[in-house]
Structure 1
Amino acid sequence: MSLPTYFTLNTGAKIPAVGFGTWQAAPNEVERAVETALKAGYRHIDCAAIYRNEAEVGEGIRKSGVPRSEIFITGKLWNTKHAPEDVEGALDKTLKDLGTDYLDLFLMHWPVSFRPSQKWFPLKDNGMFDLADIDPATTYFAMEKLLDTSKVRAIGVSNFNVNRLKDLLNKTKVVPATNQVEAHPYLQQHELFDFCKSKNILIEAYSPLGNNQTGEPRTVDDPLVGEVAHTLGMDAGQLLASWGVQRGTVVLPKSSYLEDAFEKLNGLERHKRFNQQTRWGYDIFEEIGEDKVRKIAEDLAQENLTKFTV
């Protein structure tokens, strides 16, 4: 089974199937990592303001010597910049840090707003996250206006479930080009994938191997993943990447493997989400319930005061 190297957005633009992620990159290392990735053939760099490394990413792009026109760059709007009057300024800061005059794709990072602040994580005096009552559609409308400038070529969202996408589509004009969400064999998101496909919204999968945020075993460490990978003569990460791209998601390199390997991985679905931001006090994915989320947020509030100081 041959896997694609590019997908086509609903704008008609081509987006590389592989995206070099810059989340959780070690300080002072991401510059070299980006430079090396581009020299090795990557042409899609995934960035976000909250990663707090966009200036380093930009320097890595510059040092690579790869022409800007050959690189697909994604940026993301952070939660404190959802007020319509703050959106373009946040984009301008990203462009300046990256050293480019446009983004190929600009995403709303989360469908939840924090109080406008110079801090990344504004807290109330009791340690609870200080949320703002800003409809994501209001923020997205401000993002739509950016399409009339030369600063962005496409806009999209991230971490939106089906209900939140439906609400957004009912209130706005431009269908998101992509929805970047967590997706791997433990969290296959069939309903969301089907809905996005019906609306011509391309899925971008992050955490395709799982991650260590919850302290639980990662998907890539699952014994079945290792067994299938060994059978096919590859490592587990390569197998998961190939499984993801054959589903039509952006993140993964060109490769070809046996279809029965993917059938085995399909059986791993357990609706296991590794990136559940319950401490914010907002039921983003509408899976837990507002009362339970609020209780979790209240229990973690005092910890927030020492953990979220930026």
Structure 2
Amino acid sequence: MPAKFRVGLIGLGHVGGVVARRLTEGPSISEAAGRPVVLVGVAVARPQGRTAPAPLVSADALMADKSLDALIEVAGGLEPARSLLERGLSRGLQVITANKQVIAAHGPALARLGRLRFEASVASAVPIVETLADDLAADTITGISGILNGTTNMLLEAMAGGREFGTALAEAQAAGLAEADPSADVDAHDPAAKLAILVMLAFHRRIDVAAIPRVGIRGITSQELSAARGRGRVIKLIAAARAVASGIEADVRPRSLPTAEPLSRVGGALNGIRVDAQAAGPLFFQGAGAGPEAAASAVIADLIRAARDAPAMAGAALARLAGAPLTPVGSWPPGEPFPSVP
């Protein structure tokens, strides 16, 4: 029988809970991996009163387990997540994370240390990360654009139906579809971090996520959305980037799209990403970009690749950027359509 692949999990929130359940509910993951995949411990900050399908331990105790083959981090935030990922990579573990903040800010430096996988960090279950790093590795990407935040997409749809921003947000918060502090979403910080990751993979340039210009959706009114619809257009929060001679042009801002543009038809909390490539032409990806099940699906896909000992292509792409100078980022002219809009 093939050797067991022993996994430690950091974080038992919404995503971590689904990952833990799926790792212990049946043999399907082990069958896909071709070897037994075993969850040996779960690290949480406050284990009192918590239950899990594996022993609850401190992060230090989990990191001290010499039997581990892989580490999954779904706790979120910059620290201690970054430090724990660094420790895991430095001791030779295969490391999987859904943490967009850490990857956007420290991905290249971490990836240089070992095998780092992060499919869930952008658009959750939409398979864009490894696609850019592997399937499109021989192509030249000319532009990338997308709806990378399901919460704001859902809010804009509600506002197009007549609700004002505050009302739509309150209803989404009451339904558990928006955070109590929605600033990461509505002020475009979340999609900016995801765009920074896509830029590194698509254009092989290291950028500072803080340099990406961003405009959120707080200032949009239902009247503006209705007026756009009357002109046959739809307003969406779009993250877009392209490589230019001076560096990278990128931003996140509401844009008015024609209804012929596929991104205009991405509904609800879905994510959509358009990749323009020289050989492949325009490619469009759409799917569940948020929610525990979607994120857990991407995490487990990375885990299966790790258990198969498959190359970490996206991590290798970021590792090549470690130590590279930051590329200047300029704003995409607001009135100029990005390449995916005719």
* TM over 0.5, shorter chain: no
| Greater C-alpha Rg | 2
Q: Which has the higher strand share?
A: 2
User: RCO higher in 1 or 2 (8 Å CA, sep ≥ 6)?
Assistant: 2
Query: Under a length normalisation based on structure 2, what TM-score does the superposition of the two structures give?
Result: 0.29
